[in-house]
Structure 1
Amino acid sequence: MKPLEGRIALVAGATRGAGRGIATMLGEAGATVYCTGRSVRGRPATGSRPETIEETAEIVDAKGGRGIAVRVDHSVESEVEALCARIQREQGRLDILVNDIWGGDGLTEFGPAFWKQSAAKGQQMFERAVFTHLLTSRHAVPLMLGGERGLVVEITDGDSFGYRGNLWYDLVKLSVIRLAFGMSRELRRTNVTALALTPGFLRSEEMLENFGVTEANWRDGAAKDPHFIASESPVYVGRAVAALAADPKVGAKAGRVFSSWALAREYGFTDADGSQPHWGDYFARAFGKPYRVADEDAYTSWRDGPMELASPDWPLG
């Protein structure tokens, strides 16, 4: 029996990249996976990108799971409500929620100071990559409360609280980490665990094209950027999510941010090619400085705030 056989998952933002890798690896582990996004056959939603949610669902099927493609704009509450109502009607529950909605590549500009950048683009980035996560969790988490064990995974970039080089981007990615923490505090008396997860240098479809390589010869991309040699395929973060979902003690990780490479060492999974890339170790070697993560000590100041101390029974219902 596969480790996630019989489990019901929703991967919000499953069209390509990390989301597709996560959906397909949940399928490989036996799960039924609702694959959502805006790009469907004949109606691309992201410029010239060809990937669709139907393709993702078909890969889930090919891996041994069951893929269900549903077109959803996760910024529209009525569409999110309809999606969750469908999952409740068809499955009776939800076990795994992965929020991987992004859509900010064309909005992010590294280099210029924040006062020289477009506030409208920054607002749009927040709406696409933070509000959508919160809105989806708002309607999906109630489907998880009656189950044996639920898991909410917030996909971010980076497993530290360090600055990410662009103010809007930094606020978005740290907001997602904080969202996982905040949800974990409100879910602490339930059977649902919320946490955040980052991939490393991700070889998404677009990244491979930018480097002029394929997954078969990706190492050739190191000639363009030597750091590319430490990159990982979307399978890696997908297997990280599958390992977390299969772990009966995942609740011990509630509220924190983790990385694909650290979880690979903990759970023993590999990337698609059998390797175990470790961005943290590579960074330390390449830059001669320690790679710092948001470990248990880093989260100390986030816990036992005035609200929790003054009203330990919140939320009330």
Structure 2
Amino acid sequence: MTSPDSSYRPPDLKGRVALVAGATRGVGRGTALALGEAGATVYCTGRSTRTEKTENPRRGAAEARKALPEDYYRNRPETIEETADMVSARGGRGIPVVVNHLEADKVDNLISSIRREQGELHVLVNDISESAEHEFGKAFWQTDLNRGFAMFRNAVDTHIITSHFAAPLLIETAAKDKAQSGLIVEIGDGDSFVYRGNLFFDMIKTTVIRQAFAMARELRRKNVAAIALTPGFLRSEIMLERFGVSEANWRDAVRKYPDYISSETPLFAGRAIAALAADANIMKKSGRVFSSWGLSEEYDFCDADGSRPHWGRYFKGKYGDCLKPCDGKFYEYWSGGPMDTIYANWP
């Protein structure tokens, strides 16, 4: 990931403490770096570490695509220590912690450590994904159920477990400083409720959005916001490798994959989160899903090379107006139901 563009001025997040769950690579790493360049202390969690090496040889690309979540990133070069070092190099403080976020006791211990070491927590970013490739092209009656359920658990259960243990500390921290709300960010894919081409992919990504909404409802009086965020077409480590390019020559992939011309680095979504964390009025956005490109227009941040990729505008120009992002009219149907009517004061 390249160094920040010289024209970018990060928000001031000095004194803030963040937890990025799934910070080893991709948007998780990009978020950790963006929070770091804003001066935050960032706990970077994941399972890939310099001190624990697997005994199995690295899988080939074709075999990796079939792998279960526990195997998909096996023996990749990225580690949480590397991410933490990059955070510190950008002016923040990176703290690597090995955590399997499917293990509730390990997550509980993590939050206890943050409480003991920092006494507060301002931002939680849930970026743990399904960590395997979906079976696009297969209908739900043709898919591998064991694999699909494992992916669902890896992408959804981890977020619930982590939010469950982090919420009390986020609430306590936000109660001490009413001027700045706490923030939970759910990283998903897409900012609409259209069909996503595969049952498990559709369920995972829409569930992440819905999770942000449900948490926002229960946090609405706690000064803690919960939102969902989608990046655009990513130039992540995995995608660059798959297209046979690097960040230095990524445009070479455009000849074969034309849509890649509108791609973005993981830092772009990370800077969107840094901007959200600095927004004193973030509670107004709580419970909704946003895109990196849309927030770039609002908060005026750029990608690592100074560009402002806009996947929504590019997609509309090439494929027509079919992304259908969730808008104000859509959210009208999300409130005013039986719970809001009968139990309006809970919690």
Q: TM-score, normalised by structure 2?
A: 0.88
Partner of 2:194: 162
The residue that corresponds to 2:128 in the other structure is 101
Partner of 1:80: 107
Find the partner of 2:153 among 105, 109, 127. 127
* Matches for 1:151-300 after TM superposition, within 5 Å: 151-300=183-332
Give the match's secondary structure for 1:33. strand
Query: Residues 153 and 195 of structure 1 are in contact (CA less than 8 Å); yes or no, is this contact kept in structure 2?
Result: yes
Deviations for 1:107-150, whole angstroms, at most 9, x for unmatched residues? x1110111000111111112100011001000001101122220
Aligned structure 1 segments of 4 or more residues deviating by more than 3 angstroms: none
> Aligned letter for 2:35?
L
Contact 2:254-2:261 within 8 A present in 1 as well: yes
User: Is the CA contact 1:12–1:99 (under 8 Å) kept in the aligned structure 2?
Assistant: yes
2:37 matched to which residue of 1? 28
Q: Tell me, which stretches of 5 or more residues in structure 1 are unaligned?
A: none
Which amino acid in structure 2 is aligned with residue 248 of structure 1?
A: A
Q: CA deviation at 1:204?
A: 0.5
Task: State the one-letter code of the partner of 1:5.
Answer: K
- The worse-fitting range, judged by mean Cα deviation, of 49-58 and 210-219 is 210-219
Query: Following the alignment from structure 1 to structure 2, what is the Cα–Cα distance between the partners of residues 122 and 314?
Result: 35
Alignment partner of 2:171: what SS? coil
Q: Distance in 2 between matches of 1:257 and 1:114?
A: 26
- Would the aligned equivalents of 2:140 and 2:198 in 1 still touch at CA under 8 Å? yes
Mapped to 2, the partners of 1:296 and 1:10 lie a distance apart of 30
Name the amino acid aligned to 2:171: L
Q: Percent same amino acid among aligned pairs?
A: 58
Q: Deviations over 1:256-300 (max 9, x none)?
A: 000000000100000001110101100111113343101121111
Q: How large is the Cα RMSD of the aligned pairs?
A: 1.2
Q: Which stretch shifts more, 203-212 or 43-52? A: 43-52
Gaps in structure 2 of 5+ consecutive residues: 1-9, 54-69
Q: In structure 2, what residue type is equivalent to 1:210?
A: R
Change (3 A) 1:150 1:105: same
Offset at residue 2 of structure 1 (A):
5.8
Q: For CA contacts below 8 A with separation 6 or more, give which structure has more relative contact order.
A: 2
CA distances 1:56-98 after superposition (whole Å, capped 9, x unpaired): 0000001100000000000000000000000000000100000
TM-score between the two structures when normalised by the length of structure 1:
0.97
Query: Amino acid of the residue matched to residue 63 of structure 1?
Result: R
Report the residue type matching 2:226 in the other structure.
A
What amino acid is aligned across from residue 287 of structure 2 in structure 1?
A: G
Corresponding residue pairs, total: 314
Find the residue that maps to 2:124 and give its secondary structure: strand
Do 1:281 and 1:291's aligned partners in 2 also have CA atoms closer than 8 Å? no
Counterpart of 1:53 in structure 2 is 80
